Amino acid sequence: MGWVESPLQLVNAVEYAAATGDGVHLCLREGARRLGDTGRLLAPRLPRGVTMSGPWRHATLSPFATARRRLAGDANSGQVRAVATFAGAQDTVLVDDGSGMLSMARRLIEGRPLGRHAKNESRLHRALGAAAAVRLRTAAQEGRLTVFTAYSDTETMARLGALGATVIHNDYAWLRGTSLVADAAVGSHVVVGSALVDDGYLDTDAYAGWLRDLAAQGPVTYYPHRRERRDSLQRWAQVPGVAVQRPLLPIEVLLASAPGVRRVSTLPSSVVATLSTILDRSVDLDVSAVPHHWLTSAADDSLRSLLEDVSARGRARAVA
């Protein structure tokens, strides 16, 4: 039984089922942006044994809460924390929801509570984060935690495996072998947006300058991160040569079906691991490092370290 709260989580849950042959029923969270659109696209093409239902208002009210074996797209989610705390971790499968997977793994390895980067969480969420971390760490030590991830080759995942978790590589074979979007109208140079500005971690002018430098080399198609605000997108759209699009589907789904793309540029983000696998080797994946002076005081050491790790992954693909 699975609980998913974003389009990428849904794609990765389906990838897990396709790769392992495990049947899974996926409960889709109510109110999750674009999740319903992605679900409707995938529904006719789901692997055997995969079903969906929802939208569900809360994980604790869904079949996910009472299942003996659970799949979750984000262990840092308050919904998942609550179920793990009050119903136990049981046998758990975690799939990627971006680079948050690495942060979660480090917290389990180090025995720290689950939580978001530099977020001022409520007392309740902090308590749930501490309790859920104990549950999941114990599950890992007892061989009841499986992690299905595009980050399987990282040192962090090796350490999580040493703790007792089973780590399985996600190579996106199902997505790459399934034609989901025919003749996707995408430009040759795509920029994948970042939420670092709207999350308060990155200087606005520095980000705008990065976009200007890219657009000065030729027109770019800009696909926003789901957390980017309308006013930010309006500013990026004013940069000469930048065409802001608002796709209904995950960028991974779009780019897997876009034959005209020749270059994808991004700051270090969750898409680096996924696109490193999904994009054809003829496509240049350009991951720009983030200079420290671009970051605000809200960017703590863990975030800075994560950005450097993701940048290194992009460089590794470039030289491979």
Structure-block tokens of residue 282: 């003829």
Question: pLDDT by residue (tens digit) across 13-25?
Answer: 999 999 999 999 9
pTM of the model: 0.83
Checking if the pLDDT of 182 tops 60, the result is no
Q: How far apart are CA 265 and CA 191, in angstroms?
A: 5
Mean pLDDT of the chain: 89
264 in Cβ contact with 285 (< 8 Å): yes
114 in Cβ contact with 85 (< 8 Å): no
Q: Is residue 159 classed exposed, middle or buried when 0-12, 13-18 and 19+ CB atoms within 10 A define those classes?
A: middle
DSSP 112: P
Question: pLDDT by residue (tens digit) across 190-231?
Answer: 999 999 999 999 999 999 999 999 999 999 999 998 889 999
* Phi, psi angle pair for 36, to nearest 5°: -65, -40
Residues constituting the chain: 320
Question: pLDDT by residue (tens digit) across 62-106?
Answer: 999 999 999 999 998 999 999 999 988 789 999 988 767 888 999
- Which H or E element spans position 80? helix 78-87
Where does 145-203 have alpha helices with state H?
Answer: 155-163, 173-176
Structure-block tokens of residue 108: 């389990």
List residues bridging with 295 in a β-sheet: 202
Neighbours of 319 (CB within 10 A): 5
The per-residue pLDDT for 198 is: 93
CB-hemisphere CA count at 13 Å for 110?
11
Checking if the pLDDT of 316 tops 60, the result is no
Average pLDDT rounded to a whole number, residues 257-263: 82
Structure-block tokens of residue 102: 């690495």
Of all residues in the chain, the percent with pLDDT exceeding 90 is: 62
* Selection from 278, 259, 306 nearest residue 11 by Cα: 278
Query: What is the pLDDT confidence band of residue 148, given thresholds at 50, 70 and 90?
Result: very high
Of all residues in the chain, the percent with pLDDT exceeding 70 is: 94
The per-residue pLDDT for 183 is: 46
The domain made up of 189-319 has a fold known as: Rossmann fold (3.40.50)
Structure-block tokens of residue 177: 């072998």
**Whole-angstrom Cα Rg for the chain:** 19
Query: Checking DSSP bridges between strand 284-287 and strand 263-266, what pairing results, if any?
Result: parallel
